[in-house]
Amino acid sequence: MLSLAYLIAITAEAMTGALAAGRRNMDLFGVSLVAFITALGGGTVRDILLGNFPVNWTQHPQYIYLTIGAGLCTIFIAKIVHKLQQLFLVLDAIGLITFTLIGCNVGLTLGYEPAVVVIAGIITGIFGGILRDVLCNRPPEILHRELYASVALVVALMYLQMRKLGINEDTTLLASFSVGLLLRMSALKWQWQLPIFTYTPERWQDDNNV
């Protein structure tokens, strides 16, 4: 199940990358690159941070073809994307949660501390989107929207706690997946947000980052 969810996840994330590239009027190569990095960037950053070489996608070239293909296909369906928005949001949520669970699993397998495992999960979940936004020169959107990264946090904590309690892996995955999806969908429906921190210093302070 997680494998299938992973394929859906990288496809959906590649498509959000392609759309972001389209907003910046990138060419076909730019679209492919941003799609690839959005889909596989989170796992790449995780593998590098955890010293987990070789990096995952280098052993699975089919992921390269899938994400670049999904990015390029997005160009042709861009006009109908807004009609599919609800579907898209579900796929994106599946992606977020799947990535997070895989990231936690990798961290745990490598024997890292619980706090590092949680961070490995969150980074896998959200960093593709952050790299996408950096490449497209916009502030990372996921850091000030409806609960998104927080969903990754909840999923990671729940997965870790259930594993610690010795609960069967399949049950753990299913439970944390469901809770995560429910939480993200509810956040979208009722626009749940974390509190926003707004800081507008006087001009003279601007000079020294304070």
Residue 69 binds to a copy of itself (criterion: CB under 8 A)? no
Nearer to a copy of itself, 75 or 175 (CB): 75
Backbone angles phi, psi at 146, to 5 degrees: -55, 150
CB of 207 to a copy of itself, least distance (A): 7
Count residues binding a copy of itself (CB under 8 A).
76
Distance from first CA to last CA of the chain, Å, rounded? 48
Instruction: Pick out residues in 78-107 that bind a copy of itself (CB under 8 A).
Output: 78, 81-82, 85, 88-89, 92
Site for a copy of itself in 155-184 (CB under 8 A): none
Least distance to a copy of itself, CB of residue 162, Å: 20
Nearest to 43 by CA among 110, 129, 108: 129
Q: From the CB of residue 22, how many other CB atoms can be counted at a distance below 10 Å?
A: 18
Q: Is residue 95 a contact partner of residue 67, using CB atoms and an 8 Å limit?
A: no
User: How many beta carbons lie within 10 A of that of residue 122, not counting itself?
Assistant: 25
Choice between 178 and 193, CB closer to a copy of itself: 193
Please pick, from the candidates 9, 97, 104, 119, the single residue that binds a copy of itself as defined by CB under 8 A: 119
